Each structure stands twice: as structure tokens, then as C-alpha cells.
Structure 1
């Protein structure tokens, strides 16, 4: 593909970051392009991304021997970018306009009124369902979790899984059924490991809400809570998440600083201490997929890993899901290898396909399913590989939520409930059939 040689001949474009009156970066006029490359040019293009003014948003293996990158290009660089005559599709004409569709962050809306919901198990009322009509500040997510726990006091507790680099507690909730606390195998969910993927924490919270709300009136929900303990951490990268709300909406990594470099942040999901140094992660601290200086050397990874290891050593982990966006994928192991297969790969493949069918039945949203490496791209040091081979979870997936690139990470708030509804349907199928 001749056009990448042209890219490498162009001097890096230096563009001043524009900020609003609150110090948040502005993306008005940025365009998002999907650029196609082949395997032979991939390394050159990956290196070039760091020196271009474009922001890498996503990548996908695509069809055989080809990859596509979704990149956001600032208005000052559009003429130079378009002059390259790349094989590129325009996904978004104005990224700033898309971000505006997310709406302003809304405070915690309070508790439901006139809803009995969970009957005898209930303490306080559940949080208002209007929570799912908007995105919210980080502190309000903590209030939401506390309110969920207060509504289900005999069958839940707040949990923590370590502390972030900047000192924030990684907060979650533990739910159980009639068997009692900690008596059953675990279902373990992580959300927002990548800071900019706001839909993930909202979707994980939707599932948590529905588990509590339906425990007393849905036999399928009662069955799964009576047979498994849920450990749910909606935001496992709190520092990065806060940074996306206050400064840089498209920030991905944590906020860890390191000696010897001015670059900030490590990709927590390339930092797992298993198959850490392979393809799909970077040794460059400035890269979006920087894996760290050593396996497991981020405090966030240490916290959620230690918690998961304890679950695995206890009653075991039936299901682990690392929730991501975007792309609409259900990804089974492995990411580090396109040829390795999990011991129960056939079962996982069947469950993934059928979970995708259950999701699509709600709103018609189609999810692609398959092994991470061969379906999406190589991901050395990833969570579902670690949970498969080290923690010995029976099923360990990564799920990439809505959409396929129209809005990407900046999914409008009016799609939160739909994402929750279809994900809930998929999980109910999975719980009943695994």
C-alpha cells in the first residue's frame, strides 16, 4: 500500500490544544477517518501515529491481512491529511458535535418513588431509573453504588479492589442470593478500564440495577443470584475516567507518571502479568497501548488482579467479563495468540454466538463473535487471557459495546438504556445456559 510511504515522509504536524473556559480540550471541527492498511505496512503506520497530530481511537484486524485504524484529525491538519490520498472513509464530520450529543454530566437523580421493586429484601428505594438517561460525574457513580447497596442490604455489600495511582479507591459492589455471602462461584465484571469508554460503566450499572430490582420477581434472576456471587466494579480506572470528564475526553490510559519520561499513563489492559510482552502492546510510554515497564506494575492492575486471584482461589470464577467499547464484539480467549485455544473453546464459541443472537433480538444490534486475536487484533497482556490461564475462570470474555464507529467512544446519552437493555438480554441468556 503505497500511501503509507507517503505518510512517513511528512513532518509531524504540531497543533496547539484548544480548551474551553473550564480547561477541557475542544474537538470542534475534528474529523474521524477509518484508514485501511495491510500487515506489511502496519508497524510503520503505528510508529507514525505517535508523531502525527491525529488521535488513534480504535483499530481492527478487518478482513484477511488488512487492518483499519479509526483516527481523529484536527481541523488544522485536514488539508495535509487529505492530500495524502489515503484509503480512508469519513466516519464523523465533526467530533465536537458528537461529543455535544452526549449531553452535560448530570448529578445523581435521587431515589425512585412509588416503586416497590424488590419487596422483602429492600431497604431504601432503588436509585431513580432516570440515572440511565444521562452520563454522570465520577463522584455520583459512587453515590449510585451506595444507593444500590442500601436498597438490597441483606444481599449486598460495597467492595474495594485496591487504590488508583492518584489515590482513589476502586469501588464496587458484591451481590449474593439465598446461599449467603461468598458461598458460590464468582461472576466478576470490570467496566471503564479504558477511561474514555463511558458506556461501559453505565451498562454494567444497568445490569447491576436489574439484578437487584428483579431478584424477587424474576425466577431466572433469582436463580443466577442464588447460584453465583456477583462482584461488579463499574469503573476500574477512576483517575483516567475523571480526567476524561475534566480535561481530555478521549483519554484512554491510567494517569501514572514514570521517571525518565514526560509521557503519562499506562494501558491497564496491556499490563496483566501473563503473555505480557507480545504483539498488541507497546514499549513506548507515549503509546495508547503502553504496557508498562514491568508486568502488573500499575496500581489499578494490582488491585483488580489481586481481587480476582482471591476469587479464583476461593469458590472459583464461573464468568469474567471485561466490558469495553466500541465495535460490537463478543471476544473469547486468546488475545496473545491467534492459534492458541482455550480448553473449552468450542463451548465458549457457541455461547458467544448465542449471546449475540439474544442481544440482537432486542434492538437489532449485531455483535461479531470470535477469538480476540483472530477477530479483532493481538492483545498481549490482556485481561481475559490472564483470567483464562492464571485465575482459571471457566469463561473469560471481553465485550465491546455500541457502536461500530458512527459515534465511537462518544455514544449519545439517548443510547444508554438501549445498550443496557440488549446487554441485559444477552447476560440473561448466558447465565441460563453456561
Structure 2
């Protein structure tokens, strides 16, 4: 079935909800909102996403409500003003009884399955503006006769859909072959299921020797597909723009910096999110439970780490820091480099790409009682990132300390790189949007989001250059 972008959301089917759990009125013993399928693909027909304005509640009331919603639903986003929560139908029906009278609830997604279908759409070759409503799981459309991608241009169809992990790996391999003097790949570890964790490092052959490194990671949370897509777009844009304009911004960035991108830090989770359960967030390691699996990677870093008790929680941090092999491998790279290239000095910048919320945040996440000594500079650079995105016609981004921008957890990646790795310019970014689509950003917004990232991170690199390298 072919539909245009404008009609895509209307072309959705409907099936029964698998393994739907009954609502438990005893909230102290409530079970998770849903349990993933093991023999098929989860569906979310009739599931809803609600936005609750809790700005009038006390800290204690917000903490209690957060606990209730985490036990009965799937929290998507939480800020000091609002909390977005995904609820299955039976729980949604009880929502008015769950929230205090001073909080207001608004339904922002009436049928989650419709957005799931939308995120799986892909363009139809030869039909401008036409999309098929479900993307192939293993063999997506390509734009070369041999089934590959034309990486000489950003116009390749690769960036018009959310690709499976195998396609992302093939595309990145093609980039390495097409730009051998500038780009190399290195394996920094393995996932819990044995998949390679790959870093892609770009630097001009005639660039500065021992150039400071900018490290960009994404995909810690499996369901946040726009993160890896944007990280790959950013890397591709640097290489193409370097070739097209030897005196442009990309050329300067790759002359003065080494840029390392780890687009899929949670490959197991990404595969599971695509093939079995779109809302899967954690990695896929065995945590000793009969039903629940996985660790939330972005609460498992070893700074101000706090162990979790509920293994089924979406924010389960494990029982010890770096219990997840993915976070252990990434932290080892940050601090020690690789066996072939031991680290001589720490990276100059670190950016962790997530979605959603349009935020560009600096440490700390775990507490607002600890203020980073570099806060003024971090804020100024963040404002520059937001301005650069706005100047190209992108959406508004907010910048500030992470603990003030969104309710986060301890064990955060940017907190670790800043405090332990001494990476002064450490940030966590929440990409598009602000809740219309949430994690199910439509594929026609991949390019605009990637363009945001190119503009923002290029501006950050130039700010660092002008501040510390060539003031």
C-alpha cells in the first residue's frame, strides 16, 4: 500500500494486544505496563500517551506520582513541569484516579500503534513523496544496482528511513571504503549478545597531528531510533562536505579535531526494538529474572551510580556500575583508548545523543546540589548550539544543567565523562521532537534532525576551537 507523507498516519491496521496485563489497583504491588513478546512482535493498539502537568505539585508529590506511573506505565519523559507516560488501555482508564487533583492530564497520543507503523515507513523508489507503511526488516530499498548506497551524496535513500542494524553496519562499512584517507573503524568491545561495538573515527590526512578528540555516542536507549540515524547523518555530512568544500566548516572541524562516532552503543536492544518490541529501551543482557531482561545503559555509568531493585523497570541500572558490557567498553575507550592506540590525553568533548525533548544539557544530571565549575562556559557553548540550529531554520532547543531540564537518574554518561574522564565539554542531547511523535519520529524527519545535529555539533566544535585552541 502506498501513501503520501500526509496520509501515512491514516494507513494503519489493527490487531489484538498481546499479553495485556490487567490493572492492579494495589499500586504498591503493580506489575509493569506490558511484557514484551517472545514469540512475535508486540503491538500497541489502543495504547495511549498522556502528558501530566505536575508543576503545581510538591517535590514529594511528584516523587510519589513518578513511582506510581513507573509501576503502572512506561515513562517517556519527565521534566520539572510535565511528565509523559505511555499507558495500556486498562491503566489509562484509571488515570484520573492515579493523579492528584492539582495535576492536569492531556492525551497526546491516542493510538500508539499508529505511530509505531509510521516510524517503520520507508520511501518507495521512483515515487517522490510516497511511502510504504512498513519498512523491510532486512533488505531496505537502496539506490545502487548492486544493492548498496550512493555515499557520494547526502541525497542517498539511506537517510529516508530508519534502517535495521545490518543496513546501518553496511552503510558505515561503505563509508569507510569510500573515504579511506579520512575514516577508519575500530571495534571497542562487544555487546552482551556478542555483537561488535564499533567506533568510527574521522580526521583529515593532512590535519593537525594529535588533534583533540570529539566523541559522539548514540543508541544507548534502543527505542530512540533518531539518535543513531542522526549520528550517522552527521558523520556522512562531515565526509561529503569535506570533499565538496575543502575550505568549509567540515574541513576545518576535521583538520583541527578527530571526530569519533559510536552510533549504536546498544545494538542488541536496537535489533530487539525493531524486530520484536518497538518500545524496548534497555540492553538485552540476562539480569537473573524469569521474565525481565536488560539494563538501562544510561544509568549504569560509574559516577554517582545507584543500584536498582526492580529488574523489570525501564530504568533498571543493574547491581553494580558498568555491569553492562556496552557501558564498560565505552568508558574504557573514553579513559584508555584502544590497544592499538592507547590514549595520550582525554577527549576534548563528549556528546550523548538521545530523544526526545529538544534539549542540549550539561552536567550534572544526578543532582542540582552539585554545580560544575565550568557551568558558565558550558552554558555559553550550549546556547551557541541552540542558536546554530535555529539559524538554519531548525526548531528551538533549550540548554541548561541536566538536573534542571529533565528529571534524570544517577549513573549518567555525561556526568561520568565530565567528572571521572575530565572531559570539560560533556553534554547530553535530546533531539526532536517535543512530544507530537516522541520516540516514533516519522522517517521524513530524519534529515531535518540530522541537519540540526550537523549545525549544532559543528558550532560546538568551532566554539571549543575559538575558546581553547586558537583564542
1:110: how far off? 4.3
1:254 maps to which residue?
283
* 3-state SS, counterpart of residue 341 of structure 1: coil
1:288: how far off? 1.5
What CA distance in whole angstroms lies between the structure 1 residues aligned with 2:312 and 2:170? Answer: 34
What CA distance in whole angstroms lies between the structure 2 residues aligned with 1:181 and 1:393? Answer: 20
Number of aligned residue pairs: 410
Name the CA shift for 1:394/1:421 in 2 (closer, same or farther; >3 Å).
same
1:423 maps to which residue?
453
TM-score, with structure 1 as normaliser: 0.87
1:40 maps to which residue?
60
1:322: how far off? 0.3
2:374 maps to which residue?
344
Q: Find out whether 1:144 has 2:164 as its counterpart.
A: no
Q: Find out whether 1:214 has 2:228 as its counterpart.
A: no
For structure 2, list consecutive stretches of 5 or more residues without a partner in the other structure.
Answer: 1-23, 122-133, 465-471
Aligned pairs for 1:301-312 (under 5 A) are: 301-311=327-337
Q: Find out whether 1:230 has 2:259 as its counterpart.
A: yes
Aligned pairs for 1:29-428 (under 5 A) are: 29-37=46-54, 38=57, 39-52=59-72, 54-62=73-81, 68-82=82-96, 87-102=104-119, 103=121, 104-106=134-136, 107=139, 109-110=141-142, 125=152, 129-179=156-206, 183-216=210-243, 217=245, 218-259=247-288, 262-277=291-306, 282-311=308-337, 313-428=343-458
What CA distance in whole angstroms lies between the structure 2 residues aligned with 1:192 and 1:15? Answer: 23
* 3-state SS, counterpart of residue 391 of structure 1: coil
1:18: how far off? 9.2
Name the CA shift for 1:85/1:352 in 2 (closer, same or farther; >3 Å).
closer
| Contact preservation (8 Å) 1:186, 1:315 | no
1:320: how far off? 0.5
For structure 1, list consecutive stretches of 5 or more residues without a partner in the other structure.
Answer: 1-5, 63-67, 114-122
What CA distance in whole angstroms lies between the structure 2 residues aligned with 1:14 and 1:165? Answer: 24
What CA distance in whole angstroms lies between the structure 2 residues aligned with 1:18 and 1:254? Answer: 13
Residues 113-134 of structure 1 show CA distances to partners (whole Å, capped at 9, x for unaligned) of 9xxxxxxxxx984686211111
Q: Which runs of 4+ in 1 moved over 4 A?
A: 6-20, 82-86, 108-113, 123-128, 179-182
Name the CA shift for 1:167/1:11 in 2 (closer, same or farther; >3 Å).
closer
Name the CA shift for 1:223/1:35 in 2 (closer, same or farther; >3 Å).
same
1:154: how far off? 1.2
Name the CA shift for 1:152/1:326 in 2 (closer, same or farther; >3 Å).
same
The CA RMSD over aligned residues, in Å, is 2.7
1:223: how far off? 1.2
* 3-state SS, counterpart of residue 171 of structure 2: helix
Residues 377-425 of structure 1 show CA distances to partners (whole Å, capped at 9, x for unaligned) of 2431111111112111120000000011111000001101111112211
TM-score, with structure 2 as normaliser: 0.80
